[in-house]
Structure 1
Amino acid sequence: MNASQKAWRRYVPILDWGRSYTKSALSNDLIAAVIVTIMLIPQSLAYALLAGLPPEAGLYASIVPILLYAIFGTSRSLAVGPVAVVSLLTASAIGQVAEQGTAGYAVAALTLAFLSGGFLVLMGILRLGLLANFLSHPVIAGFITASGILIATSQLKHILGVDAQGHTLPEMVMSILSHLPQLNWVTVAIGVSATVFLFWVRASLKSTLRAMRVPPLLADILTKAGPVAAVVATTVCVWAFDLAGQGVKIVGSVPQSLPPLTMPGFSLDLLNALLVPAILISVIGFVESVSVAQTLAAKKRQRIDPDQELIGLGAANLGAAFTGGYPVTGGFARSVVNFDAGAETPAAGAFTAIGLAIAALALTPLVYFLPNATLAATIIVAVLGLVDLSILKKTWDYSRADFAAVTATILLTLGLGVEVGVAAGVALSVVLHLYKTSRPHVAEVGLVPDTQHFRNVLRHDVLTDPTVVTLRVDESLYFVNARFLEDLVQKRVTDSSTIRHVILMFSAVNEVDYSALESLEAINRKLADMRIGLHLSEVKGPVMDRLKRSHFLEELNGRVFLSQYDAWMSLSPSSTPDVAA
């Protein structure tokens, strides 16, 4: 295989897995596609409602984007399309530049998908998939939990049949309370019944069917079809009893067509207004998607390429921008369903897209009398699975810094809105990393008796020498923590007049940047003035290569030892060292 073929197969993974596609894979992918299609039809309509868009936008965002991801994505199980958190972010972003229900609102959604897709593709080309590592999992968990609460609260107005507004939790609650006199009891009956039914389907239907000895595959399909049953039942009720005439809000007319060719807006004002939200949506969507993809791939001993995932998701969003959709990403629930249903390749997604295209052509007239309350119930049941308040207790028990970051993210998202929450989550992840690495763990170590191993003098009974101090640096050294080490060494040597040698044990140091190099030089000069030798031990090869490019090793007033034991044997003059408890 020449370099050109390798490049094509890297950037177009379908050329790789498509070469070995089998009849068995085709059968499994078709079965998975049927199950996911059944699940996606009501979900797509519901998430479009959440984004403030016409219901058909949800279907359109689930057809071409899925096909493009099947071509460019690397996950065998990831199911791409509208998801709750991205739908909420979309509504928040475009609600600030256009009024819901207008043509400008739809154009803004297309533009947001275009900007998000372009940003993701650019990141993929630049191989920046590693940036996902800068978002800490606790902070992301806090944001998703808060978003789930916001989404569920935002749908209560449809369950109650009132015209409440708001983008933050206090605004939504106050608006709902102020509109309670407008309560529509028929809508409440539909919404509450659908919600209770869907919770029962999720919690008990599969086990009930299995107890009735229904085949596992059929039980799984019937369980996933639960939302469809709710849609059918409530739609028939609204039609049969003319409940729309009693104030029940319905979906209404939905175009009976395939996704149309659309064009995003390219005015500078619109692009400037949506650029930052598009970046935030891209980052959150990518982190959610790649986390799901990696988890599912690991279960089958497969791997994904985060950089190519950026390109796959970017292509999906660009497809949504030109076919009447809005920003999409890999969804957790539908991806797990896709995986559990036996999907073996991204072709399952392509078959799902075909199923949704058939639904868009043939089934849309059937949802005319579908009540918004049922779609709201679908959203509420789906997103409450995202809410994980146990993260607060877990982080409190494990790390107070992580707890503070999670709590701040949740409170800011609930109190100030999702955009502030996303920005806070990103900022807090970076600040948390800087805080943790700004005070690296540095342990004074001694020799474990009858071994060549060195351990923390505060945790183990070890041999020490009053003239020799060994400090094990357990973190890479860079501009944030360089001065910390300098101050620590200065304090340690001024506490004792007997010290003649300081050894910096670098076994855990993977990087020394220029600021840290300057701090090492300052430590060397100060110790030399105090007639104390500075030595290094167990320096890793790449770090040593970097140090050799400077004058530090030439000016070092001590030596560099291959092992800490060599340093101890060479520098410790005492034959009967003290024992430190």
Structure 2
Amino acid sequence: MGSKTRETYTVEELQQLDADVTGRRERAQWVLNSPDPPGLLHDIISSVKDVAFPLGHTTAKQTTSRRAVSFLKGLFPILSWGRDYRFSKFKNDLMAGLALASLSIPQSIGYATLAKLDPQYGLYTSFIPPLIYALMGSSREIAIGPVAVVSMLLSSMIQEIEDPATDPAAYRKMVLTVTFFAGIFQAVFGLFRLGFLVDFLSHAAIVGFMGGAAIVIGLQQLKGLLGINHFTNKTDLVSVLESVFTSIDHPWSPLNFVLGCSFLIFLLIARFIGRRNKKLFWFPVIAPLISVILSTLIVFLTKADKHGVKIVEQVKGGLNPSSVGEIQLKRPHVGQAAKIGLISAIVALTEAIAVGRSFASIKGYHLDGNKEMLAMGFMNIAGSLTSCYVATGSFSRTAVNFSAGCETVLSNIVMAITVFLSLEFFTRLLYYTPIAILASIILSALPGVLDIHEAYYIWKVDKLDFLACVGAFVGVLFASVEIGLLAAVTISFAKILLNSIRPGIEELGRLPRTDTYCEINQYPMAIRTPGILVVRVNSALLCFANANFVRERILRWVTEEEDHVSNENTKEGIQAVILDMSNVTNVDIAGILALEELHKKLLSHETELAIANPRWQVIHKLKLAKFTDKVGSGRIFFTVAEAVAASISTPNNC
């Protein structure tokens, strides 16, 4: 068709050609005349409304009561599903909650000691936060309470500011202040839909961080397992091992080691049995509680505490005391508390949302990450005011909750009530509980945190992700928790920058017998259009970081093609460059300037530039910058196929 002149066309062919041209122009006007996208203020207001009114935005026709009901249902999901709650579900939630409590009570005491706090603070953290989450959370399976990684994170960072050994009261106040800030940050993340901040800790980084933390936590439990008095406060591998070998020369009680290892073997066997036989899932669940009861009886009956076995001694009971007066917002360390609170908030959210989404996908429902952040934020704010430290979702306890057949978050309420009853009536019985047992309970939970199979999977799929995983692992293991997190975030950022600075720019060709244009490297059967270069930018942003690279790469293609034509004298050069912008969601000033310069350079080569399928924000900014006037409104197209059809020889210029 390209070799025919207009005079050689039949009337029907000319009518069809004119109709095609008219259709292309009409569709191009759809792109050019699209309405302006919403501004930043509108996006912020919409985000807040999405959180406050997830069932739909309010309208002027709605009554005040309807708006209030919609707001309350958005803030408290329990009001929505609670209407359809049945007794048959309660039986399952009751059993799951009791199973959860049997595991949570001994673990909470152990994690409190890991956080360098008195044992009762772990129980406090398993009472108030689960109740708040049950009212505001959207996950049905997640189990709330203290976790090992956050406990270690708090102790390792806060003890550099306040020493828990010399001034436990100041240390406790710092922990509560950090918890308050963590809750504030989490609530703000949820309210303004800033969940992307959590994603800076990628899945690979979290796997490496958790693995390094698991090894450090395990090594730190040697203090309780061996009954060592003097132990390092540092968390790196070298310092911990050095402290262990140095302390062995000092007096220590072998009875602690024998008692702890005996029950550790029992806990690991219970874990193995539970994994081999799913019907016996309850056995590893109650094994920690059995260990606490039996070991406490052994120490009480044999008076082993008189022979070197270290015991918990006094555990304060009763309802959570108020800690409003202990939040230190005017002290000199408030900036450091805010920094630690931010780090704790991100780590806690990352773990909780990963756990919640894993089990939500199994049950077949969607988990709103922003709603979860809001719920976590409010529960930690409330927790900081009631003597709790940072709580989040625990993978091990959530797995127990799921295996026990929980139906709703009511299992968290059952667990919280059981913990409260334990605080009221049974804390005195924990006086003779050996510390070695708490160490063995923490050690038995660590194999679930150290995920070697997942690390191997990351290595197989993405080597750069594995580098982030290794960076976090090595940083935590040989430096500190902060260095490990910094290494993970730095490597993740470097990966993002590498992809942004050097985005994929692929030449497109038409698939045979279709109007679909795909990457030639991926689909070798794709056909190039003579005289036309079709390229796609595989980046969400055309910005200062990659705009010059995109411009130079396209110009190099054009120059290379011209050189090839001048050497071979076999075919024409490139008459048009079509830029497929379907993957570009936004563009900044640098990106627009690069497009303008590209247009000027191509004109000097007697080559036209066409834009195909620009996204909403992109075409809006190109119009504001008058770029569409410079390139010509007739060079903006709805699809690549239409841009190619308009760029090939037409009857008018043949």
Normalising by structure 1, we get a TM-score of 0.93
8 Å CA contact 1:92, 1:419 repeated in 2: no
Tell me what 1:113 maps to: 179
Could you tell me how far 1:299 is from its partner in structure 2?
A: 2.4
Q: Which runs of 4+ in 1 moved over 4 A?
A: 205-208
Q: Give the fraction of aligned pairs with identical amino acids, expressed as a percent.
A: 30
Match of 1:248 among 303, 306, 309: 309
Tell me what 1:167 maps to: 235
Tell me what 1:33 maps to: 97
Count of paired positions: 566
Match of 1:563 among 639, 646, 649: 639
8 Å CA contact 2:207, 2:455 repeated in 1: no
Tell me what 1:213 maps to: none
Tell me what 1:224 maps to: 285
| Partner secondary structure for residue 100 of structure 1 | coil
Say if 2:262 is the partner of 1:193: yes
Amino acid at match of 1:85: V
Tell me what 2:579 maps to: 504
Mark the runs of 5 or more structure 1 residues left unpaired by the alignment.
211-215, 575-581
Say if 2:407 is the partner of 1:341: no
Say if 2:611 is the partner of 1:536: yes
8 Å CA contact 1:277, 1:419 repeated in 2: no
Aligned-pair Cα RMSD in Å: 2.0
Following superposition of structure 1 onto structure 2, how do residues 168-567 of structure 1 map, counting pairs within 5 Å? Answer: 168-182=236-250, 183-205=252-274, 207=276, 216=279, 219-263=280-324, 264-459=327-522, 460-476=524-540, 477-497=542-562, 498-556=573-631, 559-567=635-643
User: Cα gap change, 1:366/1:517 in structure 2, threshold over 3 Å: closer, same or farther?
Assistant: same
| Partner secondary structure for residue 444 of structure 1 | strand
CA distance in 2, matches of 1:177, 1:47: 24
CA distance in 2, matches of 1:206, 1:457: 49
8 Å CA contact 2:89, 2:407 repeated in 1: yes
Amino acid at match of 1:164: F
* Comparing 358-367 and 381-390, the one that deviates more: 381-390
Could you tell me how far 1:148 is from its partner in structure 2?
A: 1.1
8 Å CA contact 2:596, 2:627 repeated in 1: yes
Following superposition of structure 1 onto structure 2, how do residues 68-147 of structure 1 map, counting pairs within 5 Å? Answer: 68-101=132-165, 102-147=168-213
CA distance in 2, matches of 1:64, 1:43: 16
CA distance in 2, matches of 1:86, 1:340: 24
| Partner secondary structure for residue 227 of structure 1 | helix
Deviations 1:365-387 (A, max 9, x none): 11111111111111111122111
Could you tell me how far 1:552 is from its partner in structure 2?
A: 0.8
Amino acid at match of 2:636: V
Could you tell me how far 1:40 is from its partner in structure 2?
A: 0.5
CA distance in 2, matches of 1:311, 1:396: 34
8 Å CA contact 1:120, 1:314 repeated in 2: yes
Amino acid at match of 2:637: F
Deviations 1:198-251 (A, max 9, x none): 11000115757x8xxxxx4xx433331011111122222222222212222111
CA distance in 2, matches of 1:238, 1:300: 44
CA distance in 2, matches of 1:405, 1:422: 10
CA distance in 1, matches of 2:363, 2:302: 50
| Partner secondary structure for residue 449 of structure 1 | coil
CA distance in 1, matches of 2:159, 2:91: 43
User: Cα gap change, 1:301/1:392 in structure 2, threshold over 3 Å: closer, same or farther?
Assistant: closer
Amino acid at match of 1:149: I
8 Å CA contact 1:469, 1:501 repeated in 2: yes
Could you tell me how far 1:278 is from its partner in structure 2?
A: 0.6
Amino acid at match of 1:553: T
User: Which structure: larger Rg?
Assistant: 2
8 Å CA contact 1:145, 1:410 repeated in 2: yes
Could you tell me how far 1:87 is from its partner in structure 2?
A: 0.4
Could you tell me how far 1:541 is from its partner in structure 2?
A: 4.4
| Partner secondary structure for residue 225 of structure 1 | helix
CA distance in 2, matches of 1:367, 1:467: 84
Could you tell me how far 1:392 is from its partner in structure 2?
A: 4.2
Amino acid at match of 1:150: V
| Partner secondary structure for residue 446 of structure 1 | strand
CA distance in 2, matches of 1:400, 1:302: 31
| Partner secondary structure for residue 495 of structure 1 | helix
CA distance in 1, matches of 2:467, 2:641: 41
Deviations 1:66-125 (A, max 9, x none): 111111222122111100111011111221121214211111111111111122122222
Deviations 1:168-219 (A, max 9, x none): 11111111122122342111111211211111000115757x8xxxxx4xx4
User: Cα gap change, 1:538/1:124 in structure 2, threshold over 3 Å: closer, same or farther?
Assistant: closer
Amino acid at match of 2:611: L
Match of 1:10 among 64, 70, 74: 74
Could you tell me how far 1:260 is from its partner in structure 2?
A: 1.3
CA distance in 2, matches of 1:262, 1:563: 62
Amino acid at match of 1:463: I
Could you tell me how far 1:267 is from its partner in structure 2?
A: 2.9
Say if 2:97 is the partner of 1:21: no
